[in-house]
Structure 1
Amino acid sequence: MAFSSNSALQRKCHCEKDKINQGSILYHILNHKRNPRLPTCSCKHESKEKAALGSPYIACKAASEVLLKTVNFMKNLPSFWGLLQPDQLLLLENCWAALFLLGLAQEGVDFEVIEPSKTSILKEILTNQKGKGTDEKTSSEPSAAEVQKVKSFLTKCWSVDISTKEYVYLKGIVLFSPDVSGLHAPQYILYLQQEAQRALTEYIHSAHPRDTSRFSQILLALMSLKSINAPVITQLFFRPLIGNMQMNALLMEMLYTS
């Protein structure tokens, strides 16, 4: 499912220029089978620069498939289904984006990024299919700096060459987050997280006995997820498909629909 592009957003910041002069479309896509980097800059205007997917149909389709696998991962965990439903919903709402990004990394999904003005007309077609009710706020693109955080996380995971088993344990660590506010059983969820971390540690020691830095490298990549907000993921990969539909509503539908 991985894909990449040889073209990328090649643009200079302004200062550098001065110096040199279910009825949703998402389900429709899922039911039909099927490393460029953003430049960084320390200038104050960086946060105002926007970014968009260069090939929205390809990227959104791949992202939709990863999201489906992400929800199925939760569905197939007996320890998750053993929790009270309110706790399931809180974990789903607060952890889906991080789990999704781990899924992108595991599947090797890269994506092309371009200037919003150069966005494919297909994105406009997809968005317009949701009707004229889509407001300007929901169709706005995330900042280039925010997208760069996503790209950077994927690069970190790929540089460590994380294995399938390691991804499973990492997803367990991310999913069972006892710090989520409002949980009914935070202590039990902490226990589940510690079990996932223990399993990851034992696996690394067994599979990579001579690599003393591997565990810290993987956890360092995991920590970078905290700087990536779920709304950025929604705007980048799913808003063109679901329009004004709330992401949490879609996730609940996916989780509790067999």
Structure 2
Amino acid sequence: MATQASHEKCGKCQCETSHPQSILYRILNKEEQDEIRWHPQCYHPGYSISSAGCPCEGNQKVVLRTPEVTCLRASEVLLKTVTFIRNLPSFYRLPQEDQALLVEKCWAPLFVLGLAQECMDFELKVISVPSLLKKILLNQSLTDTEKGENSPGASLAEVQKMKNSLEMFWNLDICAKEYAYLKGIILFNPELPGLRFRHYVQTLQLEAQHTLMEFSSMMYNQNVGRFAWILGLLASLKAVTAESIAELFFRPILGEVNINELLLETVYFKQDLL
């Protein structure tokens, strides 16, 4: 019975918002924000908003419930991510074009991994995005529509991916050394198009993988399965977009700043501040 109840609960809308039967009521509903209640039992790789049949999919965004606190902590995680990169001598042996490419394409999964390592959870609020029919009925102008499309907030589906990924890493109870090796595996990604020293980057990634395998085998009694499971989790990090991370954690304090440019400036020109 408990299992059935849990399944039924996971089948509900993630935002726990009641959806009245009246279509007109839903269209003209003026309640714009609801606090999200995340349920740990719904954290598994196969769960998604679409699988739950949530009518919020595609028309809801989320913002941080306490941005003044959470954005500060997120900035600290980002700074630690940059510090990790700067402390790798092998990174600076690459040509600057390859360094820039690795930072731009890999900072997002590195940041999410940093959130996992810091055990940083965060509460959210849903922002309801009005439908086109609602805009028509309320006689909103084109300017109002454009403002709505450019309003703050990250996709609810994207943030759910991030939450799911964090939960899976926490369930494995990964230690600091394992996190360090995982960061090396993520950063040195030889599959990125445009790399000049692809073979060298691949060598660095293989070294990080081999070191992680040896460490896991030594610490967990030759348990090769743990190593394979940890590597499998990296795919969940790649599913989280850099745009959703920037929108959720950094737009509230930095506005429309380009995160890639900020990171490269920090890596190359702000060394005395780290």
- Answer whether TM exceeds 0.5 for this pair: yes
**In structure 2, how many angstroms separate the alpha carbons of the residues matched to 1:136 and 1:250?**
27
Q: Identify the match of residue 234 of structure 1 among 242, 246, 249.
A: 246
**In structure 2, how many angstroms separate the alpha carbons of the residues matched to 1:137 and 1:245?**
18
Q: Secondary structure at the match of 1:194?
A: helix
Corresponding residue of 2:153: 141
1:31-46 alignment, distance < 5 Å: 37=38, 41=49, 42=51, 43=53, 45=55, 46=57
Q: CA deviation at 1:212?
A: 4.1
Q: CA deviation at 1:227?
A: 1.2
Q: CA deviation at 1:107?
A: 0.7
Q: Secondary structure at the match of 1:245?
A: coil
Report if aligned partners of 2:113, 2:237 keep a CA contact under 8 Å in 1. Answer: no
Q: Identify the match of residue 76 of structure 2 among 65, 73, 87.
A: 65
**In structure 2, how many angstroms separate the alpha carbons of the residues matched to 1:80 and 1:71?**
12
Indicate yes or no: 2:54 matched with 1:53. no
**In structure 1, how many angstroms separate the alpha carbons of the residues matched to 2:148 and 2:199?**
42
- The 1:141–1:154 alpha-carbon spacing in structure 2 relative to 1, beyond 3 Å, is same
Larger gyration radius, structure 1 or structure 2: 2
Question: Could you tell me the percent identity over the aligned residues?
Answer: 45
Corresponding residue of 2:113: 102
Report if aligned partners of 1:139, 1:239 keep a CA contact under 8 Å in 2. Answer: no
Consecutive unaligned residues of structure 2, counting only runs of 5 or more, are: 1-13, 23-35, 43-47, 129-146
Letter in 2 for 1:226: K
Of 218-227 and 189-198, deviating more is 218-227
- The 1:13–1:203 alpha-carbon spacing in structure 2 relative to 1, beyond 3 Å, is farther
Q: Secondary structure at the match of 1:51?
A: strand
Letter in 2 for 1:175: L
Q: CA deviation at 1:140?
A: 2.6
- The 1:197–1:13 alpha-carbon spacing in structure 2 relative to 1, beyond 3 Å, is farther
Letter in 2 for 1:214: R
1:191-202 alignment, distance < 5 Å: 191-202=203-214
Q: What are the superposed Cα offsets for residues 99-127 of structure 1, whole Å, 9 maximum, x if unpaired?
A: 0111110011100011237xxxxxxxxxx
Larger relative contact order, structure 1 or 2 (CA cutoff 8 Å, min sep 6): 1
**In structure 1, how many angstroms separate the alpha carbons of the residues matched to 2:191 and 2:18?**
38
**In structure 1, how many angstroms separate the alpha carbons of the residues matched to 2:83 and 2:150?**
27
**In structure 1, how many angstroms separate the alpha carbons of the residues matched to 2:149 and 2:179?**
34
Q: Which 4+ residue blocks in structure 1 deviate beyond 6 angstroms?
A: none
- The 1:218–1:254 alpha-carbon spacing in structure 2 relative to 1, beyond 3 Å, is same
Q: Identify the match of residue 154 of structure 1 among 166, 171, 191.
A: 166
Corresponding residue of 2:184: 172
**In structure 2, how many angstroms separate the alpha carbons of the residues matched to 1:231 and 1:181?**
20
Letter in 2 for 1:196: A
Q: Secondary structure at the match of 2:153?
A: coil
Letter in 1 for 2:191: D
Q: What are the superposed Cα offsets for residues 9-43 of structure 1, whole Å, 9 maximum, x if unpaired?
A: 852364xx549xxxxxxxxxxxxxxx962775332
Q: CA deviation at 1:210?
A: 5.1
**In structure 1, how many angstroms separate the alpha carbons of the residues matched to 2:205 and 2:224?**
22
Of 40-49 and 229-238, deviating more is 40-49
Q: CA deviation at 1:231?
A: 0.4
Q: CA deviation at 1:211?
A: 3.5
- The 1:158–1:55 alpha-carbon spacing in structure 2 relative to 1, beyond 3 Å, is same
TM-score of the pair, normalised by structure 2:
0.73
**In structure 2, how many angstroms separate the alpha carbons of the residues matched to 1:150 and 1:182?**
27
Number of residue equivalences: 217
- The 1:212–1:195 alpha-carbon spacing in structure 2 relative to 1, beyond 3 Å, is closer
Q: Secondary structure at the match of 1:181?
A: coil
